[in-house]
Amino acid sequence: MREIASVTINSTINHLFHFSFTTTNDNSGPNLDKLFDIIHEDDDLLVINKPADLVCHPTKGDVYSSLISRVRLYLGAAAKPSLVNRLDRETSGVTVVAKTPAVAGELGRLWETRMVEKEYLAIVHGHVREDHGLIDAPLGKDERSAVAIKDCVRPDGAAAQTEFWVERRFAGKPLTPVLSSSDGENKDVAKRLVEFTLLRLLPRTGRKHQIRIHLAHIGHPIVGDKIYGADETLYLALVERRLTDEQRAQLILPNHALHASAVRFVWRGTPVGFRCAADFRPLLDVI
C-alpha cells in the first residue's frame, strides 16, 4: 500500500508552492513520481494534480504521453477509468478521475447540474484595476483566426461568466533577454518594466477556453498564452515546431500560467473539496 505525503510551504503569493512525494513499502508497481501527484484516492475516486504540458487523452503510443494512459498504468490493465473534468494541455491542477463506468456516470450527471465549483489561479499581464469583478461575455468560434481551435467573445455566442478576485499585484525587473540572432549578433528582445497580477477565478459557466478568452478580452491575457496572448502566430509556430528562442522569450514561460487550484461538490450527500497549490516558480525566477 502506497503512502501519500505532502508538504506545503507558505508563500506571500497565496500559498503558491506545493511539493508532493510518495513512499512505498516495496519496489513493485509503477513509479508514481513519474506518473502524477495524488491528491486523494478511495475506492471510487482518484484525484490528481495534473502537471502542465500533459494532454488528458493520448495523441501517441507512449504510456506516459497522456494523463488517462498514466491512470490506466497506475490502476492496472483491468481498470476502466474516466476523466470527469479535463484540463487544457498547458493547464495544471485538480483533475477528478472516476475509477469505474458507474461512478463516471454518477459524477457526469453531477457535473451537468452545474453544482460543481471550480477555482483557478492565473498570473496575467498588467495590473488588473478592480479588486473583484464579473466578466460576462458570450463566447463562440473565432472565424477570423488562423487557429482552428480558437474561440472569441461574440454577441451571438454562448453565455459565459467568469468571476475574479485580485490576490496580488506585482512588478518584475525589466525583461532584457539577450539572444543570438541568425547573423550571430546579440539583440535585446524587450526592455520594459513588466507588471503582473495574480488572480483567483471562479468560472460560472464551462465554455472552452473560457478563462483564457475572458482575461484576454479585458486586456489582461494569461502569461505564456500562445493562442489568446498578443500574437496567435506563436501557437502556430509551436505546433509546426518552428518556435524560435526570441518567440520563447516573448512568451516568458513555456506553459501558460493557469492552474486549477480546487474543485468542490457534494458527493453522495457529503460536501467534499480537493485542492492543490500552483507552482509558479518559473515565472517568479524570471521576474
C-alpha cell at 181: 540572432
What are the residue ranges of helices labelled H in 14-170? 32-35, 67-75, 101-112
22 bridge partner residues: 4
C-alpha cell at 79: 481498470
**Residue 203 to residues 44, 118, 140, 169, 241: CA-CA distances in angstroms?**
26, 7, 16, 21, 32
- For the question of residue 88 being annotated catalytic, the response is yes
Asked if 146 contacts 236 with a C-beta cutoff of 8 angstroms, the reply is yes
In this structure, are strands 186-188 and 82-83 parallel, antiparallel, or unpaired? unpaired
- Of residues 37, 42, 88, 131, which has the active-site annotation? 88
Asked if 254 contacts 120 with a C-beta cutoff of 8 angstroms, the reply is no
Asked if 268 contacts 9 with a C-beta cutoff of 8 angstroms, the reply is no
**Identity of the residue numbered 62:** D
Q: Could you give the residue numbers annotated as active site?
A: 88
